[in-house]
Structure 1
Amino acid sequence: MAAENVQYTEDGHFVIIKGRRWRATDPRLPHEVEKSLTHHLMSARRAVGAAGDDEDARKAARARVQLAKTGLGERGTAWWEQTLAERRQRWNDCLRQLEEGERS
């Protein structure tokens, strides 16, 4: 999706895409962390689609989507309600869990 199609609310907490409001990614995420979490998110979304009728695989993939989006600050406690230390803890914990899941 082209960046010009994305609008932000005045406070920067949400993006508006095709008239729908979504929570914005945490703007304090370090670039490499955001890149890694986004990679995990896209991989998990592909896994949801590839799961077909395998409910266990679909549930596992959806849990990975949830974890990646939480790490990005798009789900869970709103990033603007957390201290920077809490935000760092959130994204580092989520990234660690996603990476550990890849190794198992």
Structure 2
Amino acid sequence: MNQLMTARRNVGAAKKAGDTQAERSARAAVDASKRALGERGPVWWTDGAPDFNRRMVANTPYAEWHAALVAKGAP
């Protein structure tokens, strides 16, 4: 987590300085940190449950739940 947060700060600093090469390097460090934490890359769990990531909620088993939230005024 420390490496990820440092890399994120470096992205911000590079953007503020207008240093595209440093920003590219910092973004690569963010990606490497996220992969090391298991946030990116191949799926590491095998529970057999279907993955509804990147699907419209209306096309998932969560459609009714989401519709109820919207009806209550939730974003």
TM-score (norm 2): 0.56
Larger radius of gyration between Structure 1 and Structure 2:
2
In 2, the alpha carbon distance for the partners of 1:69 and 1:79 equals 13
Which SS does the other structure have where 2:45 is aligned? helix
Higher strand share: 1
Residue number among 43, 62, 68 corresponding to 2:27 in the alignment: 62
**Unaligned runs of at least 5 residues, structure 2:** 47-75
Question: Is the counterpart of residue 74 in structure 1 residue 39 in structure 2?
Answer: yes
* Number of residues of Structure 1 aligned to a counterpart in Structure 2: 44
**Unaligned runs of at least 5 residues, structure 1:** 1-37, 82-104
Identity of aligned residues (%): 52
TM-score (norm 1): 0.41
Greater RCO structure (CA 8 Å; 6+ sep): 1
In 1, the alpha carbon distance for the partners of 2:37 and 2:27 equals 15
